[in-house]
Amino acid sequence: MGLLKASGGNFSPTPGVEERASLDHADPAVRRRAVQALAGEAGAVDTLVAMLPHETDNGVRQAAFLALASAKTAAAAQGLAVLLGAADPALRNGALETLATMPEHARDLLDPLGRHADPDVRIFAVLLAGEIHDGDIAQWLIALAQAEADPNVCSCLAEALGGTGAPGAGEALAAIAARFPGDPFLGFAVDTALQRLSEG
Amino acid sequence: MASPPQAPPLHRIAAPRISAEDVVVFCDFFYKKTGISMDASRRYFIDKRLEDRMAANDCNSFREYLSLVKFQPGGAEMQALINEMTVNETYFFREDYQFACLTRRMLDEIADRKDPRRDRIRIWSIPCSTGEEPYSIAISILEDWPRASDFDIEIIASDIDTRALARAREGIYQARALHRVSPRIRDTYFRKLDGENWQVVPSLRESIDFGVINVSSPTQMARMRGIDVIFCRNLLIYFDDLSRRQTAEHFFDALNPGGFVALGHSESMSRISNIFVPRKFPEALVHQRPLP
C-alpha cells in the first residue's frame, strides 16, 4: 500500500470497447457520451437542440451546449435562440452563455429576439447584446429603448445602455424614465445608468 | 582519416524575418494544435522562439517552416516547437494550501467511498512541467495523510512538453526550486548531487507515471478515466473560452463522481463551466464532479 510504482500504462491507447451510446439511455453518463459522439456530425445541431428541453441532467446538457458552441454555425445559433424561450431557467441561461460564444452569428438574431412577444426573451436579447463587443450594439439598444413597453426589459436596457458610453444613450435613458414616471425602481435604474455615462 | 571539424552554419547572423501576418497565422495554427492562445502582441517571445526553430531546421521563410511543422511525418518538429513555446518555471510546494486541502479534506472524502482492498486512489497532475508539482503531491501524501499506507495511490503526471517531462523523470533540481522545502523533507526525499543540485530519491521518482498529454486532443484526454483528484494549475489562463470549456468537460469525464479539480489561484471554474460544484474547504476552493 502507499504510492504505487509507475506502470506507464496510463498513456497507452486503449481499444474502445464502449457500449453503443444512446441519447435516450437511462444512465446520464451514456447519454453524455452519445452527445459527445454527435459532435461534428451532419444533423447534430438539430438533434441537440431537440433533445435539450427534455434532458434534465446538467452534465449531459453541458456536453450538448459545448457541442453547439464548437459547431459555431448559424444553425446552432438559431437553435439556441429558440431555447431562450424555454420555461427552465437553467436551459435559458445555458443557451444564452453558448450564444455569447458565437457573436458573429448571435448578432443577426438580436433583431428578431428584440421583437419577441415574450418579455423574458427580450431581456435575454439585451443580455446577449451586452456580451457582443460590436460598435453597432449601442445603436441597437438605443433603438430598442425607444419603444420597449415592459418595465423589466427597460430595467435591463438601462443597465446595458449605462455601460455603452454611446452618444444618444442618455436620451434613450431619459425616454425610458419618461415612459414609467411612477416606477421608483426604474427611476433608480435610469439614474444609476446616467451616472455611469457621466463618469465615462 | 577524420575530416576536420566544420564551423556551424551562421544561422543567427541572418535570422529569417517574421512578419506581423506570419505571427497571426502562427498563433492561429498553434491554438488549433494545442488549445493555447498565444498573444500576438508578445512579438519578441514568439519571434525569438520561431527564429530559433527555423534556424535549427534551415528554413529560410516562415512559410517553409510552417509547411515542415504541418506535414512532417511523426511530428517531431511540432513537438520541438511546443517545447519552445511553453513555460516551465515552477518550484516545490507552490500554492501548498491546496496540498494541505488534499491531505486534510479531499483524500478523506474520496477514501470514505472506496474499499482499500480493491480500489486505488488516482491523482493526476496536468501540466506537471518539470515535475515539482507531482513530487510535491507525493511528498504531501506520504508526510501528511495518515491513511496513506491503507491505500494504493497512483500519481499520474502529464505535460505537452517532452523536454520538461524528461527533466521531471530525471528529478534533478537547483536549490532555488527547493526554497520552500524544509531541511528535513529535503534530506528525506532528495539526495545532494553537488553544491547546487539535488535529485529526488529513486523510490519517489519511480512512483510517478510521467507521460505526454495534449489537452486539446480528445483522443489523448479520453485515455484518462477513473481519476479522483486533478491538479490543473495555471494552464487554463493560456486558453480561450471555448478551449477552457472543452478542457473542463474532459476533466469531468476523467473524474470519478465526487472527484475534485484544483485550479490555480487566479483561475475560476465558475467562469468556465457550471458542470462542477464548488467546494469551499478551510484551506482552498476546489471543484467537485457531483455525486449521483
Q: End-to-end CA distance of chain B, in Å?
A: 74
Residue B11 lies in a domain: no
- Domain ranges for chain A, please list them: 24-102
> How far is it, in rounded angstroms, from Cα B236 to Cα B217?
15
Residue A184: strand, helix, or coil? helix
Q: Is B284 left (phi over 0), alpha (psi -120 to 50) or beta?
A: beta
B209 to chain A, minimum CA–CA distance in Å?
5
Contact check, Cβ <8 Å, A4/B120:
yes
pLDDT at A8: 75
Residues of B with Cβ-Cβ distance to A13 under 8 angstroms? 219, 223
Considering the domain architecture, whether residues B126 and B79 belong to the same structural domain is answered as no
Residue B9 lies in a domain: no
Residues of A with Cβ-Cβ distance to B209 under 8 angstroms? 6-11
Considering the domain architecture, whether residues B103 and B182 belong to the same structural domain is answered as yes
pLDDT at B239: 87
Query: What is the β-pairing status of strands B172-174 and B197-200?
Result: antiparallel
Which amino acid is located at A109 in the chain? Answer: L
pLDDT tens digits for range B44-100: 888 988 998 898 888 889 999 999 998 888 888 888 888 888 776 789 999 899 999
Considering the domain architecture, whether residues B81 and B138 belong to the same structural domain is answered as no
Residue B5 lies in a domain: no
Residues of A with Cβ-Cβ distance to B242 under 8 angstroms? 69-70, 101
> How far is it, in rounded angstroms, from Cα B215 to Cα B193?
34
pLDDT at B39: 77
Residue A73 touches partner B, C-beta closer than 8 Å: no
The number of helix segments (H) and strand segments (E) in chain B equals: 12, 10
> How far is it, in rounded angstroms, from Cα B190 to Cα B206?
13
Residue B15 lies in a domain: no
- Comparing A49-63, B22-36, B123-137, the range with the smallest average pLDDT is B22-36
Considering the domain architecture, whether residues B101 and B59 belong to the same structural domain is answered as no
Considering the domain architecture, whether residues B196 and B77 belong to the same structural domain is answered as no
Q: Which residues span the domain enclosing B52?
A: 20-85
CB contact set of B102 (below 8 Å; sequence gap of 6+):
B123, B137, B140, B141, B145, B229, B262
As its CATH architecture, domain A24-102 has Alpha Horseshoe (1.25)
Considering the domain architecture, whether residues B189 and B248 belong to the same structural domain is answered as yes
Considering the domain architecture, whether residues B201 and B232 belong to the same structural domain is answered as yes
Tens of each residue's pLDDT in chain A, 200 residues: 688 877 777 887 765 555 567 899 999 999 999 999 998 788 899 999 999 999 999 999 999 999 999 999 999 999 999 999 998 999 999 999 999 999 999 999 999 999 999 999 999 999 999 888 777 899 999 999 998 999 999 999 999 999 887 888 999 999 999 999 888 899 999 999 999 888 86
Q: Find where cell 472543452 sits.
A: B246
Considering the domain architecture, whether residues B124 and B227 belong to the same structural domain is answered as yes
Cβ-Cβ pairs closer than 8 A, A with B, add up to 76
pLDDT at B13: 44
* Residue B18 binned pLDDT confidence (cut-offs 50, 70, 90): confident
Q: What is the DSSP string of A80-143?
A: HHHHTT-S-HHHHHHHHHHHHT-HHHHGGGHHHHHT-SSHHHHHHHHHHHHH---TTHHHHHHH
Nearest residue of chain A to residue B289 (CA atoms): A59
> How far is it, in rounded angstroms, from Cα B35 to Cα B29?
10
ipTM greater than 0.85: no
Considering the domain architecture, whether residues B80 and B110 belong to the same structural domain is answered as no
Nearest residue of chain B to residue A29 (CA atoms): B253
In chain B, the number of structural domains is 2
B154 to chain A, minimum CA–CA distance in Å?
5
Interface test with A, best of B223, B230, B269, B289 (most A CBs within 10 A): B223
pLDDT at B32: 85
Residue A58 touches partner B, C-beta closer than 8 Å: yes
Q: End-to-end CA distance of chain A, in Å?
A: 63
Mean pLDDT in residue range B234-241: 86
Mean pLDDT in residue range B240-263: 94
Backbone angles phi, psi at B60, to 5 degrees: -95, -10
> How far is it, in rounded angstroms, from Cα B152 to Cα B169?
21
Residue A89 touches partner B, C-beta closer than 8 Å: no
Which amino acid is located at B11 in the chain? Answer: H
Residue B220: how many other CB atoms lie within 10 Å: 18
Contact check, Cβ <8 Å, A1/B275:
no
Sign, CA dihedral B244-B250-B253-B259, equals: negative
Considering the domain architecture, whether residues B61 and B165 belong to the same structural domain is answered as no
Residue B7 lies in a domain: no
Nearest residue of chain A to residue B250 (CA atoms): A63
> How far is it, in rounded angstroms, from Cα B169 to Cα B238?
25
Residue B252 lies in a domain: yes
Contact check, Cβ <8 Å, B204/A62:
no
Size (chain B), residues: 292
* Residue B254 binned pLDDT confidence (cut-offs 50, 70, 90): very high
Helix B43-56, helix B20-34: angle, nearest 10: 80
Residue B67 lies in a domain: yes
Considering the domain architecture, whether residues B176 and B213 belong to the same structural domain is answered as yes
B245 to chain A, minimum CA–CA distance in Å?
7
Residue B8 has pLDDT above 60, yes or no: no
CB B149 within 8 A of CB B199: no
CB B158 within 8 A of CB B125: yes
pLDDT at A18: 56
* Residue B3 binned pLDDT confidence (cut-offs 50, 70, 90): very low
Residues of A with Cβ-Cβ distance to B252 under 8 angstroms? 59, 62
Considering the domain architecture, whether residues B152 and B273 belong to the same structural domain is answered as yes
